[in-house]
Amino acid sequence: MHESMSGGVTPAEGARDSLMRILVISIALASLLVSACNGVAVTAPGSSPPPLLDATPTPSPTSAADPTRPAKPATPARPARPAASATPATPAAGATPAATAAPTPGASPTPPEESPPMSTEVAAVHLSGPFGSLEGRPGPAGSESQPSGLRALDQYAQGARLGIGLKDDLQFLRWTVTVSPIDSRSDDRSAVLSEGPMPGDRTDYIGVTGPDTGEWLLRLDAEISDSAPAAYHWRLAVPRREVPEDGVLEVPAPDLIIAAGQRSVVAEFGSGCYVFTCGDSGGLTPAHDLPRIRAERRSLVMTLLDESAFVGWRMTGWPVGGDPGDERSLSRARVPEGTERQTVNLPPGDWYARIQLTFDLERGALSYYARITVD
C-alpha cells in the first residue's frame, strides 16, 4: 500500500496537472486572440517568431530585442525629388512622352509673346504746294538721291507754305525735313525745316515753310507706321517772288494755246479749280467774240503756256449759231503723266468748242473755250 502511494501519481495530483495544462492552453489561446485583434503575431512560449515578409527587423540601439515580439519593419526611404534645373530625359524613339501638367481649370492659356515683324514696304509720301502734289522718290533710310533725276517743282514764291502728307491712314512716328542747295557754288547752306513730333503736332501731316530763291533738294527722313524707315526726296525751283502780306497765294492757271500750222490762239478761261482757287466764268461768251482758229487739215495741237503737263482732256462742242443743248463729244483722251503737247483730230464744222483739261500733280481741272473751224 505504501509503495504504490510513493511510486505512482495520486488522483489528486493528476487532476491538478490537468487543470494546469488547461489553464496554460487557455492563456495561450487568449493571447493569440488578443494578438490577432491587434494585428501582431504571437508565438507560443518556447517557439521562434515567424519571419516577416519583405521587411528587415531593426533592433533598438538602446534596448535588447524582446524575443516574444517581432520587430517593426523599417520605414522605406522617400525617393529624392529631381532638381528644378534638371533637364528631363528625352524619350526613346517610338516612346510616348510623359504628359505635362494640366492647366488650371477655367484658366486661358497664355500664348508666347512675339515681336511684330518689321515691314519691308515703303509708304507713299506726297509733297504739296503751289505746284500741286507729287510723291517723293523713296530710298533706304540714310540714302541720297541725285537732283538731276528729280522733277523740278515750281514753288511759285519765296517762303511759300508746303505740306508733307500720308495716305491710307498711316502715321509719322519720327521725322526730319531738310533742304540743301543743288548748286554747290551757292552761298546758301543746308537747313532743317522741321523735326518731330513735338507736343501738339499732327502725325499724318507735316507743314513747313519753303526755302528762298534758288534750286533746292528737299529731303524727308521718316519712320512711318506699318512701313520701313526711308528717305524721300523732291526738287524745288523757287523764283524771285514774294508771298503776299496776307500769306494767301493765288497761283494763276496757265493759258491754253491752240495751234494749227503757223497760227495759234489763247483759249478763253472757263470754270473750274486750279491749285488753291476755284472760279466760275458765268454765262457763255458770244461766238463772234471767242478766240477763233481755222484748221485746214482737221488737226490741232494743244499746249500750256508755262509748258506744264496735263493728264487728260475732253473736247465738246455744238455748231456756231446752234443750241448749246446740242453739245456733243468731239474728241477725248487720257494721256500719260508728264504730257505737255497733244494733237487733236476734229470732224469738219464751225464749232463752239469747250476744252476740259485735267492738270498733272493734282493741280485741278479747268474749262477753256474757243471757236474752231475745221474745213
Average pLDDT, the chain: 80
- Quote the number of domains for the chain: 2
Whether residues 281 and 353 share a domain: the answer is yes
The predicted pLDDT at position 338 comes to 86
* pLDDT at position 67 over 90: no
- pLDDT tier for residue 51 given thresholds of 50, 70 and 90: very low
User: Is the pLDDT score of 9 beyond 70?
Assistant: no
| Under 8 Å between Cβ of 325 and 289 | no
Calculate mean pLDDT across residues 80-100: 46
Tens-place pLDDT, residues 266-316? 999 999 999 989 999 888 999 999 999 999 888 899 999 999 999 999 999
% of the chain exceeding 90 in pLDDT: 55
The label of the residue with cell 443743248 reads: 325
Same domain, 225 and 264: no
pLDDT of amino acid 154: 94
Q: Hey, what long-range contacts does 18-22 have (CB within 8 A, 24 or more apart)? A: none
Burial 197-221 (b: 16+ CB within 10 A, else e): eeeeeebeebebebbeebbbbbbbb
Domain with 329 in it:
256-374
| Per-residue pLDDT tens over the stretch 319-353 | 999 999 999 999 999 999 889 999 999 999 999 99
Same domain flag for 140 and 233: yes
Residue-level pLDDT at 26: 72
How large a percentage of the chain has pLDDT more than 70?
71
Question: Is the domain of 345 the same as that of 270?
Answer: yes
Statement: residue 371 has pLDDT above 60: yes
Q: Which of 96, 103, 99, 31 is nearest to 69 (CA)?
A: 31
- Whether 223 and 267 share a structural domain: no
Residue 32 in any domain: the answer is no
- With respect to residue 4, please indicate whether it lies within any of the assigned structural domains: no
pLDDT above 70: residue 15: no
User: Is there a single domain that holds both residue 280 and residue 215?
Assistant: no
Helix count (H) and strand count (E) of the chain? 2, 21
Check residue 136 and report its DSSP letter: P
* Coil vs helix vs strand at 289: helix
Count of residues for the chain?
375
Out of 203, 238, 273, a domain closes at 238
Specify which of 39-43, 187-191, 309-313 reaches the highest per-range mean pLDDT. 309-313
Residue 290 belongs to domain with CATH number:
2.60.40
- Is 93 inside a domain boundary? no
285 and 226 co-located in one domain: no
**Is residue 165 scored above 90 in pLDDT?**
yes
Q: What is the CATH number of the domain that holds 183?
A: 2.70.50.70
Instruction: Give how far Cα 18 sits from Cα of 24, 46, 265, 288, Å.
Output: 10, 20, 161, 166
Q: Tell me whether residue 74 is in a domain.
A: no
Q: 135-172: buried (b, 16+ CB within 10 Å) or exposed (e) per residue?
A: ebbbeeeeeebebeebeebbbbbbebbbebbbeeebeb
Q: Which of 209, 238, 267 is the last residue of a domain?
A: 238
35 φ, ψ to 5°? -65, -40
- What type of residue is 131? F
The answer to whether the CB of 256 falls within 8 A of the CB of 234 is: no
pLDDT-derived band at 162 (thresholds 50, 70, 90) equals very high
Q: Considering 205, 238, 271, which residue would you say is the last residue of a domain?
A: 238
Over range 190-207, report the average pLDDT.
92
Look at residue 35 and tell me if it is in a domain: no
Please answer whether residues 255 and 305 qualify as being in contact, where contact means their C-beta atoms are separated by less than 8 angstroms: yes
* 233, 261: one domain: no
Does the structure show a pLDDT above 80 at 253? yes
Provide the whole-model pTM.
0.65
Gap between the Cα atoms of 23 and 215, Å rounded: 134
